[in-house]
Amino acid sequence: MLRQAMLAVSKSGRAERVISTSPLTRDVVKRYVADDIAAVITALTRRGLLVTVDHLGEEVRDREQAGAAVREYLTLLGVLPAGADVSVKLTALGLRLSEQLAFDHAAAICRAAAGRGVTVTLDAEEHDTIRGLHAVHAALRREHPDVGVVVQAYLPDSLERCEKLGGARVRLCKGAYTAPGAYRSPGDVDRSFVRCLRVLMAGTAYPMVATHDPRLLRIASTLAVLDGRDVTGFEYQMLYGVRPEEQARLAGLGAQMRVYVPYGDDWYAYLMRRLAERPRNLAFFLRSLVSRR
Ligand SMILES: Cc1cc2nc3c(=O)[nH]c(=O)nc-3n(C[C@H](O)[C@H](O)[C@H](O)COP(=O)(O)OP(=O)(O)OC[C@H]3O[C@@H](n4cnc5c(N)ncnc54)[C@H](O)[C@@H]3O)c2cc1C
């Protein structure tokens, strides 16, 4: 219930105006969103963590905004070390306007990224963009076989998706939105996550295990051993600001641990999705607002 309410708030322009203009939210935003992206990347890299960087923004309404998002990614590539990844939302590149436009923009980013030894991963968004996401991903893979894509375990066809993604870089996550027909109970989502993980680990894909869930992390590491994958055969991914000690612990054990680092002014919808995931985060957010008064 609370999750649904928070996701509704994430789409409310009125709530966005109130929350994003309040100076009291700044500290909370800083916890989940990099304020100085170059400094954050340097600090994480020094601690042996890999990064995937997301320029915040989604659902652009015109070609000018979509073009601006591409230019931002091209600038970002200038500060990324080789081995980094960029996470891209196709709706920020114009998917709602035209699939071809989103493809052309994503292809431009992939070309520039390849020149810098950086990979690109396409985030998964609202359910009505998933067909377009996989169409663009399949088309991009012809020129850029290492372009990654996200599968959301809450979608009942996620297992089928994983089966079709042999050889691809696949980030598996639970899913941060809502979708008609999606698994809703945490148990169903977790079971779907594990079914997908089994297929990815046993197959030819490169699994990117995106979760903070201790049980799923243990299952992932066990499956990797059973399927004969060494530490270079898969990676863990977690969000900037979430379980940083666990991120450091896994990196310290020699695992590939990649941190998803968002930056930019358009943080509102991203932050609301993080608060929706964890009531304790919401309590932290509300407390920080109250304590500054
Ligand atoms: C790298 C990355 C990329 C992602 N990309 C996408 C995407 O493209 N599309 C999409 O829809 N979603 C994406 N997500 C979000 C994802 O779908 C989930 O909404 C989000 O990760 C929360 O799910 P969870 O697996 O961490 O488990 P949850 O069900 O949120 O949490 C499970 C358990 O993890 C632990 N935990 C979680 N958060 C914390 C915390 N803050 N502190 C301490 N323990 C905690 C707790 O033990 C908790 O019970 C991404 C997530 C990650 C990590």
Q: Is any ligand 1 atom within 6 A of the Cβ of residue 247?
A: no
**Which residue among 211, 218, 273, 282 has the greatest number of ligand 1 atoms within 8 angstroms of its CB, and so is best to mutate?**
211
- pLDDT tens-digit readout, 40-49: 999 999 999 9
What is the distance in A from the centroid of ligand 1 to the CA of 142? 31
Which pLDDT tens digit goes with each residue over 202-228?
Answer: 999 999 999 999 999 999 999 999 999
pLDDT at 292 over 70: no
46: CB partners within 8 A, 6+ apart? none
The band of 24, judged by pLDDT with boundaries at 50, 70 and 90, is low
Catalytic choice (54, 85, 96, 123):
123
Per annotation, catalytic residue among 161, 169, 171, 258: 171
Query: 151 pLDDT band (50/70/90 cuts)?
Result: very high
190 is an active site residue? no
Separation of CA 262 and ligand 1 centre (Å): 14
* Rounded average pLDDT over 116-124: 98
Residue nearest to atom 35 of ligand 1 (CA): 213
What b/e string do you get for 262-290 counting C-beta neighbours within 10 Å, with b at 16 or more? bbbebbbbbbbbbbbbeeebbeebeeeee
The closest of 254, 167, 154 to 211, measured between CA atoms, is: 154
In order of start, what are the domains of the chain with their CATH numbers? 34-266 (3.20.20.220)
What pLDDT, on a 0 to 100 scale, did the predictor assign at position 139? 98
Amino acid at 102: A
- Condensed to tens digits (0 to 9), the pLDDT of residues 161-187 reads 999 999 999 999 999 999 999 999 999
Complex ipTM above 0.85? yes
Whether 111 shows a pLDDT value over 90: the answer reads yes
Among protein residues, the one whose CA lies closest to atom 17 of ligand 1: 175
What percent of the chain stands above pLDDT 70?
A: 93
Amino acid identity for residue 90 in this structure: L
Identify the band that residue 266 occupies on the pLDDT scale cut at 50, 70 and 90.
Answer: confident
* Residue range 108-123: mean pLDDT, rounded: 98
> Minimal CA–CA distance to 229: which of 252, 209, 245?
209
**Predicted local distance difference test score (pLDDT) of residue 10:** 73
The mean per-residue pLDDT over the stretch 243-264 comes to 97
Looking at per-residue pLDDT, the higher value among 291 and 128 belongs to: 128
pLDDT confidence of residue 164: 97
Give 225: exposed, middle or buried? Use CB within 10 Å, 0-12, 13-18, 19+.
exposed
pLDDT at 284: 65
pLDDT of 293 higher than 50: no
3-state SS track over the chain: CHHHHHHHHCCCHHHHHHHHCCHHHHHHHHHHCECCHHHHHHHHHHCCCEEEEEECCCCCCCHHHHHHHHHHHHHHHCCCCCCCEEEECHHHHCCCCCHHHHHHHHHHHHHHHHHCCCEEEECCCCHHHHHHHHHHHHHHHHHCCCCEEEEECCCCCHHHHHHHCCCCEEEEECCCCCCCCCCCCHHHHHHHHHHHHHHHHHCCCEEEEECCCHHHHHHHHHHHHHCCCCHHHCEEEEECCCCHHHHHHHHHCCCCEEEEEEECCCCHHHHHHHHHHCHHHHHHHHHHHHHCC
Locate 240 and state its tokens. Answer: 């900037």
Pocket test for ligand 1, best of 89, 173, 216 (most atoms within 8 A of CB): 173
* Candidate of 121, 212, 217 to mutate for ligand 1, largest count of ligand atoms within 8 Å of Cβ: 212
- Ligand 1 centre to CA of 101 (Å) is 30
Contact 25, 19 (CB under 8 A): yes
Residue 191 annotated to the active site: no
Report the chain's mean pLDDT, rounded to a whole number: 92
Q: How far, CA to CA in Å, does 133 sit from each of 89, 106, 264?
A: 9, 11, 23
Q: Which is more confidently placed, 258 or 268?
A: 258
pLDDT at 68: 97
pLDDT reported for residue 73: 98
% of the chain at pLDDT higher than 90: 78
Q: Is the CB of 124 under 6 A from ligand 1?
A: yes
